[in-house]
């Protein structure tokens, strides 16, 4: 306990007042609205705070988890030990540069960056306007939608490496692939992203953003808590179609359900636990593997769970 008290005092010394919370429920910081407490939740406002907290965790051997908007994370019901560093609203400066460049701190919301780009008459980021995360999360996940992905428009990413170096990584070095990146592989913390966009008519950009928003609203269960697509798209297939064909649409375990609007989403119908979602993920995987011979790989990042174990889910069909 004394060790923890001294650690939290050291954390406090690095941060502005109000930036540290102990035993903070992560259900309040994830779009699934699921997850137990973070031992310490830190919401920094400046880069020196981010660097200081990361260095302290490294020095003290304390686990460090980086969170953006929590729109692609499933946190265990038991929560996570160590520090959760939430890079969101307080670390979200967006700067318009010369020649179509935008620089954004990691916590800037995609939606906000898209609005800045649209007003400046810069095209190319429309695809991300409806992705409910931060640019830091988008860089790590190589977030994409409707034919666009972050790697199409990112010029560089400034990162903190696990060795404590701040490095500016070029697009070529970033190893972006489908929902993967060097930052994910190597555990780099994204501090800032540089985008290179193309001049265009603001009204035309707005029209494309409106069209994409409408398509999302028609197809996706945006009125229910979720983490978006639960599974990655297997090559040559759509996860949602495979799940539908396997008869899993609407299936439910506890408060978690395969969305009846879009089978690629698992939604929290109210009171879902992380264990409900995990069991439903496994049930879907098993059914699709039996039905189509394809193993669906989760896209959602899972925090605080022991290595996967076999379960016998108590599965019920939707009424």
Ligand X SMILES: Cc1cc2nc3c(=O)[nH]c(=O)nc-3n(C[C@H](O)[C@H](O)[C@H](O)COP(=O)(O)OP(=O)(O)OC[C@H]3O[C@@H](n4cnc5c(N)ncnc54)[C@H](O)[C@@H]3O)c2cc1C
69 contacts ligand X (rule: CB under 6 A): yes
84 contacts ligand X (rule: CB under 6 A): no
Q: Is 299 a catalytic residue?
A: yes
Query: Looking at beta carbons, which pairs linking 13-18 to residues 24 or more positions away fall under 8 Å?
Result: 14/49, 14/52, 14/53, 14/56, 15/42, 15/44, 15/49, 15/53, 16/45, 16/46, 16/49
Distance of CA 225 to the CA centre of its chain: 14
197 contacts ligand X (rule: CB under 6 A): no
Q: At what angle do helices 110-119 and 202-219 cross, to 10 degrees?
A: 150
CB of 312 to ligand X, least distance (A): 29
Kind of pairing between the strands at 148-149 and 144-145: antiparallel
Rounded to an integer, what distance in angstroms lies between the CA atom of residue 112 and that of residue 195? 14
Rounded to an integer, what distance in angstroms lies between the CA atom of residue 122 and that of residue 275? 43
Indicate the residue among 72 and 287 with the shorter CB distance to ligand X. Answer: 72
222 contacts ligand X (rule: CB under 6 A): yes
The tokens for 277 are 């979602």
CB of 201 to ligand X, least distance (A): 25
Indicate the residue among 157 and 283 with the shorter CB distance to ligand X. Answer: 157
Indicate the residue among 132 and 287 with the shorter CB distance to ligand X. Answer: 132
Which residues inside 112-151 make contact with ligand X, applying CB under 6 A? 131-134, 136-138, 140-141, 143-145
Binding residues for ligand X, how many (CB under 6 A)?
32
Rounded to an integer, what distance in angstroms lies between the CA atom of residue 227 and that of residue 265? 8
190, 197, 205, 246: which one binds ligand X (CB under 6 A): 190
Q: Is 179 a catalytic residue?
A: yes
257 contacts ligand X (rule: CB under 6 A): no
Q: Is 229 a catalytic residue?
A: yes
26, 64, 106, 154: which one binds ligand X (CB under 6 A): 106
Pair 300, 74: CB distance under 8 Å: yes
CB of 113 to ligand X, least distance (A): 12
43 contacts ligand X (rule: CB under 6 A): no
Three-state DSSP class for 211?
A: helix
Which one of the listed residues 126, 229, 252, 286 is annotated catalytic? Answer: 229
Beta bridge partners of 166: 160
Residues that bind ligand X (CB under 6 A): 31, 66-73, 87, 106, 131-134, 136-138, 140-141, 143-145, 183, 189-190, 220, 222, 226-228, 301
């Amino acid at each position: 306990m004394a060790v923890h008290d001294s650690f939290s005092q050291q954390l406090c010394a690095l941060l502005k007042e109000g930036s540290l919370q102990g035993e903070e429920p992560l259900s309040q910081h994830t779009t699934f609205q699921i997850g137990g407490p973070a031992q310490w939740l830190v919401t920094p406002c400046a880069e020196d705070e981010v660097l200081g907290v990361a260095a302290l965790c490294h020095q003290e051997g304390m686990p460090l988890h980086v969170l953006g908007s929590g729109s692609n994370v499933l946190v265990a019901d038991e929560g996570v030990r160590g520090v959760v560093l939430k890079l969101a609203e307080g670390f979200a400066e967006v700067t318009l540069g010369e020649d179509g460049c935008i620089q954004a701190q990691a916590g800037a919301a995609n939606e906000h960056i898209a609005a800045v780009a649209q007003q400046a008459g810069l095209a190319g980021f429309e695809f991300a306007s409806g992705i409910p995360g931060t640019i830091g999360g988008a860089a790590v996940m190589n977030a994409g939608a409707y034919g666009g992905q972050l790697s199409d428009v990112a010029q560089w990413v400034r990162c903190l490496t696990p060795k404590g170096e701040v490095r500016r990584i070029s697009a070529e070095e970033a190893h972006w692939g489908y929902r993967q990146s060097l930052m994910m592989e190597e555990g780099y913390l994204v501090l800032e992203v540089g985008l290179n966009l193309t001049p265009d008519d603001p009204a035309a950009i707005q029209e494309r953003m409106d069209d994409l928003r409408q398509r999302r609203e028609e197809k996706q269960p945006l009125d229910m808590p979720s983490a978006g697509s639960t599974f990655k798209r297997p090559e040559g297939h759509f996860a949602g179609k495979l799940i539908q064909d396997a008869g899993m649409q609407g299936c439910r375990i506890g408060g978690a359900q395969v969305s009846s609007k879009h089978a690629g989403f698992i939604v929290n119908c109210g009171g879902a636990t992380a264990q409900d979602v995990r069991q439903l993920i496994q049930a879907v995987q098993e059914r699709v593997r039996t039905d189509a011979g394809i193993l669906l790989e989760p896209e959602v990042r899972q925090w605080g769970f022991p290595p996967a174990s076999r379960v016998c889910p108590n599965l019920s069909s939707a009424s």
